[in-house]
Chain A
Amino acid sequence: MTTVITVPPSLDDHTFEQLLEQLAPVALDQKVLVDARHTRWASPYGLTALLTLAQSRGTQAAFTGPETEETASYWQRAGFYRYAEELFEMHGHVPRARTQAAESNVLLEITPVAKSDDVHDVVDRIQAKAQQILVNELNLDPMATMRFAMTLSEVCQNIVEHAQTMGFVAVQTYRYRQRLGRRVVVIAVCDAGIGFRRSLESAPGRKLSDRWDDAAALEEAVIRGVSRFRDPGRGQGLAGVRRYVGRWDGKLSVRSGTARISLVPPWDDDIPLREHLSPLPGSQVQITIPERVPQK
């Protein structure tokens, strides 16, 4: 029997939880059909997390894409279908890749990350495109392009170093009407790997605290900079990301297993730590950097 998992009309880091709630009672090897026919919009997190969801299933999941041509075409240009066709059993209309002008909102189309060379590639590509948007359109300082690329490098390395599987990264800009009314640039990095808890558990000789779960592991790694490596230089990557995100008045969210931790800026009202969520393997990171508004 195939269980239909309905993708909400607007798919972002919050609404993605609805998919996971539908998936929670379904056995890993049971067939599911991910139905995105009525989806009109997806954030980079939504698209990369959909691919992660496909990776996490024991039996290949089926997928039907958005019915509206505009949405399907955007997902195509964002690079979603290139990997969806490899991971899902595709049903219905699959928009063909066409040679056309690059999508200006897509700073980095969905890109697989599995090894160090992939991170080099991602950084090279983002440097070429980011300057114009970050400095001229989001009014960030000229150093922002470099810091942005460093941020991207560090979050992608998290996959290479800890996930033990391939992940996906995507970067887009869009107007965030719902909460902010400003343009934002959003980095999403998702993998279906071992996640933070198992990564930290693999540290030799590590003593686990009485309260040890996905939320505790996220607190250790994201807030306290703990790494599975004993090396004193480890854990600096996420610490650097946290510092930059704070400087930009941005938001960092990291989901792993059944928990999600967020560094919440004043413009957002998210809950800093969510526990007992429906499970998803690996880790899913989202960084949101808002347009800087000149001070009056």
Chain B
Amino acid sequence: MIYHISVSSVLRKTVCDLYTNLVTRPTGVAVRQAIEAALAELPEPNVTVIDFAHVKMLDFSCADEVVGKLLDFYQNAEAQPQRYFLIRGAHDGHLEAIEAVLERYNLAVIVQDESGSLRLVGTLEDGARRAWQVVKTEGRCGPLEVGRALGAPADAALHLLDDLSARRLVMRRDDGYVSLPQSV
């Protein structure tokens, strides 16, 4: 399933119904905790859209709490819950703050723009980035197809795909690796 979390709604419900700016660390902590509580109710695996529409501004401290800490937990937690994230509704101002925190945590995330197209934002090696492009284009594929597309041996491609899967940027299934939106 794809689940949708409107950050703007969470902000208004948990902090103040007049706020439209996602600023200050206490605000970010409150919003992240509310998102984590909502995620805890959802079955695994799932894709959760974190939607920044109607958030006027996102500062670095809030981006650290709402994006950095959230993704860091789900991408690096020991038990690795099967949760995948897609960021939507983020304008260039939001993305500046988001990219800064992703770099700090050595994380990457998929961002969907207004036209619906997907791109990777954050820190990722060039090979993994290219492998992700192949999976995105094909929708579902394995190391042989990725290796062929990249001109790399299949075991190297498998390594890249496993890395993408561990970072929750593609889903690993019995029959291959699946791009997020096609997985539901």
Contacts and interface: CB of A to CB of B under 8 A. Distances in A.
B93 A146 contact: yes
A150 B59 contact: yes
Interface string A245-285: 00000000000000000000000000000000000000000
Nearest to B23: A153
Contacts of A240: 59-60, 97, 100
Interface of A: 116-117, 119-120, 123-124, 127, 143, 146-147, 149-150, 153-154, 157, 160-161, 232-234, 236-237, 239-240, 243
Contact of A157 (B24, B57, B58, B105): B24
Given A233-B64, A236-B64, A161 B57 contact: no
Contacts of B27: 116, 120
Contact of B101 (A123, A150, A160, A236): A236
B173 interface: no
A145 B26 CA distance: 23
Contacts of B56: 127
Most buried by A among B26, B27, B101: B26
Contacts, number: 78
B57 A127 contact: yes
A150 B19 contact: no
Interface string B19-43: 1110111110000000000000000
B179 interface: no
B21 A120 contact: yes
B69 interface: yes
Contacts of B61: 153-154, 157, 236-237
